[in-house]
Chains A and B, each alone.
Chain A
Amino acid sequence: MIDKYTAQAPTTEEAIEKGLKALGMKKDEALIDIVEDGKKGFLGFGHRDAVVTVRRKDSKIELDDIFSKDTTDIKIEKEIENLEEDIKTAQKEEVTPLKEGTKTAEIDDDLEIPEEVQKDALVQEKQDGIDEQAIEDVAEYIVSIAHQMGATHTTVKHKMEDHTVTFTIYSQKAGMLIGRHGKVLNALQMLVQTQLHKRADSKITAIVDAEGYRERREQTLKKLAKRTADKVRKTKQPVILEPMPSFERKQIHRYLSEDKGIETHSEGKDPHRYLVVELSRKKFI
């Protein structure tokens, strides 16, 4: 039986209703946490769905309790009470009794640090837990798409490094999963990024890689950048490159930013945004 459901809908009320429906419960049987209030946005910008977590009241899943913010606070309070108790007993044992006033003051001083540390640790733990699950699910998502594409022997490994998670695909049909100029790989990355944004709490960047494609592509882009810069210097004419996804344009901007005589900028709209390389205008001023 499912005890917890996270629902997303344009308004908080709709989200709650959806969550209750999904669990088949009435409102008085459920504990509802509003994770995020919905935002209407303006002219389609800044719109955000409301997110609520609906839990069964008699649910006894420890993990779920940690996930919900309210109970986290209660937990911390309890921990603090325990600490206070500990300190009191410790003081009673070690120190000769002090006046009431000074005693409490001392306790407060001692408590300040553990409270913050604990809260941070709990919040971090909570995020890691949800995100780790989201990442696992996304890896599974890549595998099932690959299977449906006919790459039956496919596994996906993932590695997390400061807010960037790299999914590496191992498959006998890696070529197909990469596609011409990495088209399919980029499409997968796009879908994965969307899923991660939706599921994970913290902002995580997703990279999908297979057979060292990203590294190879980086070398290719480096060469392309150098060749283009040379051509621009020779012809003194701007050169327009093929449309590329933003992270590839970024790499070229970065390589050529070290080249003082050359300037780069992008034109057009995604997904047909392209890079223009030209002579630096500063020379003529």
Chain B
Amino acid sequence: MMTDIKELICTIVKPLVSYPDDIAIQVSESDEFHEYNLSVHSDDVGRIIGKKGRIAKAIRTIVYSVRTEDNKRVRLTIEDK
């Protein structure tokens, strides 16, 4: 079964934020990576990064642990407005 990375990110992030409606993920492709740009409400940025980036690191660990179809790596960027 192919896992949908976008859905996975959404599932992880949703309970962490106060404004779940403002979660937006943009997908783009580069040579080596599937790029996922995650943006959330400006009040929530801190919540998904966490102290010393602890939460961001945990999210990335989970997202990167999933294999993609073409074995390209995944890159998750959290947009800071």
Contact = CB atoms under 8 A, between A and B. Distances in A.
Contact of B54 (A9, A195, A271): A271
Contacts of B52: 269-271
B59 interface: yes
B26 interface: no
A67 interface: no
B78 to A, nearest CB: 15
A148 B7 contact: yes
Contact of A149 (B15, B18, B65): B65
Contacts of A191: 12, 16, 55, 58-59, 62
Contacts of B62: 145, 149, 184, 187-188, 191
Interface in A174-191: 176, 179, 183-184, 186-188, 190-191
Contacts of A137: 15
Interface in A234-285: 269-271
B71 interface: no
Given A194-B16, A195-B15, A184 B61 contact: yes
Nearest to A199: B15
Interface in B38-75: 50, 52, 54-55, 57-59, 61-62, 65-66
Contacts of A194: 16, 50, 55
B30 interface: no
A8 B59 CA distance: 23
Contacts, number: 63
B3 A145 contact: no
A128 B59 CA distance: 29
Contacts of B57: 187, 271
Given A145-B8, A148-B8, A195-B15, A190 B65 contact: no
Contacts of B18: 8-9, 18
A265 B10 CA distance: 39
Given A176-B65, A179-B61, A148 B11 contact: yes
Nearest to A191: B58
A154 interface: no
**Which of A8, A148, A152 has the most chain B CB atoms closer than 10 A to its own CB?**
A148
A11 interface: no
B4 interface: yes
B46 to A, nearest CB: 10
A213 interface: no
A141 interface: yes
A152 B1 contact: yes
A271 B1 CA distance: 33
Interface in B1-38: 1, 3-4, 7-8, 11-12, 15-16, 18
B8 A179 contact: no
Nearest to A183: B61
A184 B8 contact: no
A147 B54 CA distance: 23
A139 B71 CA distance: 30
A144 interface: yes
Interface of B: 1, 3-4, 7-8, 11-12, 15-16, 18, 50, 52, 54-55, 57-59, 61-62, 65-66
9 contacts: A147-B11, A150-B66, A186-B58, A187-B61, A188-B58, A190-B55, A190-B58, A194-B55, A271-B54
